[in-house]
Amino acid sequence: MSIAFLFLLLILYASLASATGAFLSIDYGASTSSQDTEQGTKVVLRESFYYGNYDSESSPPTFDLHFDGNYWDTIVTSHDEASYMYRETTYVVKGNSISVCVAQTYANQFPFISALEIRSLVPTMYSKIDPVFS
């Protein structure tokens, strides 16, 4: 399964989840013969967050971002209409899937993600990255 196809799937599901307020889960895992999901594959993860008062509460949330169950960053969104949060990291796949979680850290502040992009890297790129720390 290609990353482009999964990204289009993410857009479709995100629009459905946004309309229903539902939790969104997309399994990136594919057959183990797929190079894109093989353990040790390096990927670039790009996440973007734009509050835009989507919930009409005028209360931009603060929440945590986790990869494969491990804390990575705290996202602090803003009322500012020009405020577009963007995060990017290089990550070494630990298994045959990648888990990206936006975790609620405060009551009545609901996490969201506007876009998620996952791109495989050529195996020789960033050869000095230690999988333990990525």
List the chain domain ranges: 40-133
Question: DSSP class of residue 106?
Answer: S
Residue type, 45: L
> In this predicted model, which residue has the larger pLDDT, 95 or 6?
95
Residue type, 90: T
Place of tokens 């609901």: 110
Cα of first residue to Cα of last residue in the chain, in angstroms, is: 24
Q: How much is the pTM?
A: 0.68
Task: Provide the pLDDT for residue 132.
Answer: 66
Categorize the per-residue pLDDT at 17 as very low, low, confident or very high, splitting at 50, 70 and 90: very low
Question: Is residue 78 pLDDT above 80, yes or no?
Answer: yes
Strand order in the sheet with 70-76: 70-76, 62-67, 100-104
Question: Is residue 119 pLDDT above 70, yes or no?
Answer: yes
